[in-house]
Amino acid sequence: MLDQLGNGLLLGIIISVASVALSLLYGVTRIVNFAHGEIIALGAIMASFFSNLPTSRYIFLENTSPLGLSFELSLALSIIICGIFGALLELCVFRPLRRNDFGNIAVLVITIGISIFLRHLYLIFASSKPQDYPLDLQRRQQYFIFDLTPRDFKIIVYGILIMLIFGLFISFTSIGKQMRAVRDSTELANISGINSDRIILYTWILSSMLAGTAGIFQGMINDVRWNMGFLILLLVFAGTVLGGIGTSFGAMVGGFIIGIVVQVSVALPFMEGHAEAKNAIALAIMIFILLIRPQGIFGIKERIS
């Protein structure tokens, strides 16, 4: 059980960061972004492309080798690329859609199209073979009561740090406050002089960067696959729903709980021999929450039916 708890912490951090990203985006833009998983994957795949050695066996596209840059540099570049990608999505796709009054359902379907397109673009780009970062193998040590590698521990620490910084950002900076204003009411925000277009752009950038970071974490802990985003997408939805719509803190907590529940559930007696179905538990929780307490743990009651 303790073993799984450590794994749960790690998965929890990943889903937590990704949930915060999704929750922020939904809060400000009201878009349920089914392509969110692909942005997560983008971070991971780019990091692999940048950091793996040219001599490694990974081939990108038809015959391009990875670049062999330092891991730190690769991380930074990948996250920046994710940010740029998010900006491009907003500028080239979602802003025009907004201008043309596209409704929520239409936008939803479009994000699905984008998700399908990107995911298979990654398939062509990175092939179907799982990839790992060029990091040395580490042994697990004792951290408090958990068995983690030093890298795992660092990820948890960095993850928590990122969320703390995000929390401070969203609460105290001017842009953060404007984001919250737009999230609470776009009309009011516009009236009070906030440039909602610009805030939405910043939101896309921030959300994508966070998503990319979550993807890199996932790549470090597990591996990098073309469809890794899609696999984790529903868990991220679960985390966001559980924590509560419209609250970043809720998404943090919700994501964490889902991650822990998924991993720890494997240790439960009735899950004996059914480890693969662990995701189903998280999904069932999400459905349950939507039915019983749709605003999640921390959310405000929104019209959900």
Partner 1 sequence: MTDLKRNLIGLSLIVFSIGSIYLLNDEGPTRIFINLMAFAGIYAISAIGLNIHFGWTGLINFGHAAFMGVGAYTTILLIPHAAGREGSINEEGLPLFLAILIGLVASAIFGLIIGLPAIRLRGDYLAIVTIASSEIFRLVVRDQENLTGGVYGVISFSDVFQDIRPKFLEDLSLRLDVSVGQLWVATFSWTMVILLVFLLKRLQNSPWGRALRAVREDEDAVRALGKNAVWLKLQSFMLGASIAGLSGILLAFNYGTLQVEMFVPLLTFYIWAIMILGGVGSITGPIFGSILFWAFISETDQLASLIFENADGQQIAGVRFMLVGVLIIALMILRPSGIMGKKEELLLDVK
Residue type, 4: Q
Q: Please state, in angstroms and rounded to a whole number, the distance separating the CA atoms of residues 215 and 38.
A: 9
Nearest-approach distance from CB 293 to partner 1, in angstroms:
13
109 binds partner 1 (CB under 8 A): yes
192 binds partner 1 (CB under 8 A): no
Residues 149, 141 contacting (CB under 8 angstroms): yes
Q: Which of 148, 238, 262, 266 binds partner 1 (CB under 8 A)?
A: 238
Contacts of 298 (CB under 8 A, 6+ apart): 243, 244, 247, 249, 250, 253, 254
198 binds partner 1 (CB under 8 A): no
Element housing 87 (H / E): helix 71-88
Q: Which two tokens stand for residue 10?
A: 């790690």
Q: Which of 128, 141, 185, 195 binds partner 1 (CB under 8 A)?
A: 128
Q: Which of 64, 70, 104, 141 binds partner 1 (CB under 8 A)?
A: 104
Site for partner 1 in 201-230 (CB under 8 A): 230
279 binds partner 1 (CB under 8 A): yes
- Site size toward partner 1 (CB under 8 A) is 47
| DSSP result, 236-291 | HHHHHHHH-TT-HHHHHHHHHHHHHHHHHHTTSGGGTT-GGGHHHHHHHHHHHHHH
Using only C-alpha atoms, what is the Rg of the chain? 19
Q: Please state, in angstroms and rounded to a whole number, the distance separating the CA atoms of residues 174 and 162.
A: 18
Residues 4, 266 contacting (CB under 8 angstroms): yes
Residue type, 208: S
Q: Which of 5, 67, 77, 112 binds partner 1 (CB under 8 A)?
A: 112
Q: Residue 138's Cα: distance from chain center in Å?
A: 25
Q: Which two tokens stand for residue 18?
A: 């990704």
Q: Please state, in angstroms and rounded to a whole number, the distance separating the CA atoms of residues 74 and 45.
A: 10
Site for partner 1 in 149-178 (CB under 8 A): none
Q: Give the range of 69-77, 186-194, 247-255, 279-287 binding partner 1 by CB under 8 A.
A: 279-287
118 binds partner 1 (CB under 8 A): yes
Nearest-approach distance from CB 121 to partner 1, in angstroms:
6
82 binds partner 1 (CB under 8 A): no
252 binds partner 1 (CB under 8 A): no
Site for partner 1 in 19-78 (CB under 8 A): 32, 62
297 binds partner 1 (CB under 8 A): no
Interacting residues toward partner 1 by CB under 8 A:
32, 62, 97, 100-106, 108-110, 112-121, 123-124, 127-128, 230, 234, 237-238, 241, 274, 276-277, 279-280, 283-284, 286-287, 290-291, 294, 303-305
